[in-house]
């Protein structure tokens, strides 16, 4: 994690330099704001990775003499299937259509979004995939 933190911190300094150059040269506020926001996001990720790297053990990517096989093993748990993102997408589409057609449509999209959100959070606490 240490190397990723350094990469994001160096990237943030590059984005900051480009934001300053772009802002002075073009005098265009939208692009300049987007670059400064990109700098902020990059520095947050870099700080988090650098902060976390101090608290965890060194990983294989932090060792210059490591092989690819040194990081082999279980990566983590990945959900095999889930229908909840579909209901969240439908609810989100209804919510965004509410901005276009009328705010009353948000009353119909909110229950769909909440059902999808609660279903996604608690999908491993009930049903065939229950593991708790």
pLDDT band at residue 116, thresholds of 50, 70 and 90?
Answer: very high
Beta carbons within 10 angstroms of residue 12's beta carbon = 20
Give, for 61, the enclosing helix (H) or strand (E). Answer: none
Mean pLDDT of all residues in 101-121: 93
Mean pLDDT of all residues in 15-29: 96
Summarised one tens digit per residue, pLDDT across range 25-80 is 999 999 999 999 999 999 999 999 989 888 877 777 777 787 877 777 777 777 77
Mean pLDDT of all residues in 82-89: 92
Mean pLDDT of the chain: 88
> What own/partner pairs with CB < 8 Å and gap ≥ 24 does 122-131 have?
123/79, 123/82, 123/84
């Amino acid at each position: 994690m240490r190397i990723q933190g350094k990469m994001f911190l160096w990237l943030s300094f590059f984005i900051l330099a480009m934001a300053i150059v772009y802002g002075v040269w073009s005098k265009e506020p939208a692009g300049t704001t987007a670059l400064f926001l990109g700098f902020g996001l990059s520095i947050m990720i870099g700080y988090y990775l650098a902060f976390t790297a101090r608290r965890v053990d060194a990983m294989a990517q932090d060792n210059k003499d490591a092989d690819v096989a040194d990081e082999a093993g279980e990566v983590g748990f990945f959900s095999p299937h889930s229908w909840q993102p579909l209901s969240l997408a439908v609810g989100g589409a209804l919510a965004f259509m509410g901005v276009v057609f009328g705010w009353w449509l948000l009353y119909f999209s909110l229950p769909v979004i909440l059902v999808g959100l609660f279903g996604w959070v608690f999908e491993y606490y009930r049903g065939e995939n229950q593991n708790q």
